[in-house]
Structure 1
Amino acid sequence: MTNNEYSDVTPQIHALAQKMAHNSVIDTDLYSKYNVKRGLRDLDGKGVLTGLTDISTITQNKLVDGKLVPCEGELRYRGYNVKDIVDGILEDDRFGFEEVTYLLLFGDMPNEEQLKDFKKLLVQYRTLPQHFVRDVILKATSNDMMNSIARSVLTLFCYDKNANDTSIDNVLRQCIQLISVFPLLSVYGYHAYNHYQRDNSLYIHRAEPTMSTAEVILSLLRPDRHYTPLEAKVLDMALILHMEHGGGNNSTFTTHVVTSSGTDTYSAVAAALASLKGPKHGGANVKVYYMFEDLKKHVKDWEDEDALEDYLEKLLDKQVFDKKGLIYGMGHAVYTISDPRQQILHGAVKKLALAEGHNDEFDLYERVERLAPKVIGRKRKIYKGVAANVDFYSGLLYSLLDIPCELYTPLFATARITGWSAHRLEELINCGKIIRPAYMSISENKEYVDLKDR
């Protein structure tokens, strides 16, 4: 069977798919009848409580006169406000990803000696098995980096003598190793794709032990290994903001669900990667980037707000871009008034855009951020506020850093692997039951008919 024969949809498959789709439709009124929380959320965005966590806290409401009312969003890592963490790191002009990794894994902020020792541990584990790059990453390259990373993660299972050991010591070791090598898996996977499928030069640099995680990413990615301190610091901030976001986000909940079955670390992380890949989750920043590229084709004058609103209306009416009826980067499953990560990232992206002479493009993003909620309010029945989320500016940030769009979601994963690790360990430590929610069947009973009589 050739690749084309494997990938093409035949008329027979199409006919079967049509039949399957027809027989699988569920009346949407039944969800209300049986009080099913679609997406495990109420209409106002409040999630169904499925677990407890001590790793991060998301605040979107406050209690006023005995009632919950929407408020400015707040995100805390192990009790610390993320804004305070970022402000402290910026004030000291240092890199913070490693420090926040320590915080999320172990529950408190490291002192200078603890941080120094932990950084050494990360460097120690920032290496792949001998010939792994040649035998795994450079062979059977993929044009989707998330699949490439997932394959690499699952293959690392084969190199681990204690791969199935779910003791806390061993899982912590596995998690620290994966946190350390994710930049390598991501960037090397891209270089392999760029060389073998795009016929460009191949670069496989080694990570320098003195570099922060953000510096490693930029150094491995760029042919000349050069980057500015501002570029590295802004990327470091973006990684911090993407590291963790409560136990209910899709990929982290996936980590809890898969971990609860007792499976190995590599399988749990691969499952989380599969979830994050989706355009409604980690892949949203890629969608934002391409949405703006499409907008630029339709709107020549970026200051023409009437033209911008017209394009946004066409997005919602499924007339332009991917015709899904979505304005990517707007709205969030939890936050109502504001996404605190977006607010922090906004200032950093503005600083980088001004430094690199892209203030016109940044102004365009700001206009769309301001206009989109108004357009959505006119065109949609909304149950809660709509504001820009962290994905809205992250795509622009990566673009300003000359990071190819194929790596946007992998960079999200490179940060979020820390959160997944903390939640996997939390699930194992607390010895929870296997997660198994209920689904109500609406099937009618049928009498079996012999094959000859059908």
Structure 2
Amino acid sequence: MVFFRSVAALSKLRSRLAHQSTSLGSIRWLQVQSTSDLDLHAQLKDMIPEQQECLKKLKAEHGKVQLGNITVDMVISGMRGMTGLLWETSLLDPDEGIRFRGLSIPECQKLLPAASPGGEPLPEGLLWLLLTGKVPNKEQVDGLSAELQSRAKVPEHVFRAIDALPVTAHPMTQFASGVMALQVESEFQKAYEKGMPKTKFWEPTYEDSMNLIARLPTVASYVYRRIYKDVQIIPADSSLDYAANFSHMLGFDDPKMLELMRLYVTIHSDHEGGNVSAHTAHLVGSALSDPYLSFAAALNGLAGPLHGLANQEVLLWIESLVKECGEDITTDQLKDYVWKTLKSGKVVPGYGHGVLRKTDPRYTCQREFALKHLPDDPFFKLVSKLYEVVPPILTELGKVKNPWPNVDAHSGVLLKHFGLSEARYFTVLFGVSRSIGIGSQLIWDRALGLPLERPKSVTMDSLRTYCTKAA
């Protein structure tokens, strides 16, 4: 379900984009249609009562409509393909890829405000879009950027909590520990303990989510500088936008790297609700755990090699490939190495996806960035060769539903090009980005009063009995 008040505008937008190229004039037209109100909280306060009524009406009128049939395969295969979650901020189509509030990644790149003309979209603009369903103008995005900066101060106890861990601890372990240390600041926990009506739960959730999003770059950059740069901390630069400041605190100020970070944070922010990190946050949040607890749980899911850790595995695999075969690897050598990986019982990291059945649009936009900014990078050329070699091999294998590259297949080589080559840290970048989608949805979970998640589980014996009777 999307916001009903936004459906008409988004349908017109898709129609315009489908039948004519998007000119600068049409972009300006769309921005003029956006409200001039700079207060994001005030906009949500106006929208939420209407959406609460929409959900009640939807349930009352269509609550018994069946969305599909559940099979035994779905039950024993990780609930793959089941429709079972309400997730407002994005929708993943197997063929089209991700849409943020109805907008594809190319449409977001054209319509969301950028730091400079023709540049990559600012993540603050996507945050506004995810929360309101409306494309913001530059003034609104600049105001939101300033608001996030005003919320960004991290208490000293958070750094002390991270410092209590061995410096050799995985970056995701240190990052998640920092998020848990932030939890003592939770406005939702304080408000809930004092008592408040359920219809108001979204307001302290908004405060927690915005504070969390604002503070994560500082926590994440501290983890990076602690592990890899002898705790030589770089202060924030309040003149920079969210992603650029994050890159700056990490220690990377190349203008192209700032653009890459804007693109990276934007495209990794949300991927509907069924993936491990998003679903975990939704599940934990459904128990009325505050956004810090919910997001920390999501990070622990993101740290798994079948989810966010895959971006680390891709670069490590490519580096092992280069170490064994050299940078000037031939197509035949590349095919042999891919087969060697598969025959050893491993997967080719960065290929395949649980939902997508085509090349991930997030891979495509990163490839376009590389063609524009680093076309001669040897690792980018190798990634391009893999794009030609791996899908036919996986198709020949006959066991892979989607042989095409996903988002993780490309991000590592871009980061490595600009000097961020520590692969073990990549998932932390993913985590900072994913907070935008998870935080936005948690606010709407509370605004819509979504209930405790409690699916039914079954045993193998009960499945056998049921199937025998059904037969």
Q: What TM-score, normalized by structure 2, do the two folds share? A: 0.76
- Counterpart of 1:344 (choices 357, 365, 375) is 365
Same amino acid, percent of matched pairs: 25
Aligned to 1:397: 414
Change (3 A) 1:33 1:160: closer
- Counterpart of 1:190 (choices 206, 224, 229) is 224
Match runs of 1:239-258 below 5 Å: 239-258=265-284
CA-to-aligned-CA distance 1:33-60 (integer Å, 9 cap, x gap):
676351211xxxxx20012232112222
Deviation at 1:373, TM superposition (A): 1.1
Using the alignment, how far apart are the partners of 1:159 and 1:112 within structure 2?
31
8 Å CA contact retained: 1:260, 1:435: yes
Deviation at 1:290, TM superposition (A): 0.4
8 Å CA contact retained: 1:349, 1:393: no
8 Å CA contact retained: 1:298, 1:311: no
SS at 1:57 equivalent: strand
Using the alignment, how far apart are the partners of 2:338 and 2:138 within structure 1?
49
Change (3 A) 1:380 1:147: same
- Counterpart of 1:170 (choices 174, 191, 204) is 204
Using the alignment, how far apart are the partners of 1:113 and 1:381 within structure 2?
50
Give 1:387's aligned amino acid: W
Give 1:140's aligned amino acid: L
Using the alignment, how far apart are the partners of 2:120 and 2:411 within structure 1?
21
**1:123 lines up with 2:149 in the alignment:** yes
Deviation at 1:442, TM superposition (A): 3.4
Aligned to 1:385: 402
Using the alignment, how far apart are the partners of 2:130 and 2:247 within structure 1?
24
Match runs of 1:418-429 below 5 Å: 418-429=436-447
Using the alignment, how far apart are the partners of 1:38 and 1:273 within structure 2?
23
Change (3 A) 1:297 1:92: closer
- Counterpart of 1:361 (choices 376, 379, 391) is 379
8 Å CA contact retained: 1:141, 1:193: no
Match runs of 1:71-86 below 5 Å: 71=95, 73-86=96-109
**1:373 lines up with 2:391 in the alignment:** yes
Deviation at 1:230, TM superposition (A): 1.5
8 Å CA contact retained: 1:105, 1:421: no
Aligned to 2:132: 106
Give 1:58's aligned amino acid: L
Deviation at 1:162, TM superposition (A): 4.9
Aligned to 1:284: 310
Deviation at 1:377, TM superposition (A): 1.9
Using the alignment, how far apart are the partners of 1:265 and 1:165 within structure 2?
13
Give 1:273's aligned amino acid: L
Deviation at 1:236, TM superposition (A): 0.7
Aligned to 1:50: 84
Using the alignment, how far apart are the partners of 2:429 and 2:144 within structure 1?
22
Deviation at 1:270, TM superposition (A): 0.7
Using the alignment, how far apart are the partners of 1:407 and 1:278 within structure 2?
13
CA-to-aligned-CA distance 1:216-254 (integer Å, 9 cap, x gap):
1221122xxx62222211221111110111111111011
Deviation at 1:367, TM superposition (A): 0.8
**1:202 lines up with 2:231 in the alignment:** yes
8 Å CA contact retained: 1:282, 1:412: yes
How many residues are paired up? 380
Aligned to 2:78: 39
Using the alignment, how far apart are the partners of 1:211 and 1:180 within structure 2?
13
8 Å CA contact retained: 1:74, 1:339: yes
- Counterpart of 1:148 (choices 174, 180, 187) is 174
**1:431 lines up with 2:449 in the alignment:** yes
8 Å CA contact retained: 1:289, 1:395: yes
Output the aligned Cα RMSD. Answer: 2.3
**1:272 lines up with 2:295 in the alignment:** no
Q: What TM-score, normalized by structure 1, do the two folds share? A: 0.78
Give 1:184's aligned amino acid: T
Change (3 A) 1:100 1:32: closer
Give 1:215's aligned amino acid: A
Using the alignment, how far apart are the partners of 1:34 and 1:218 within structure 2?
44
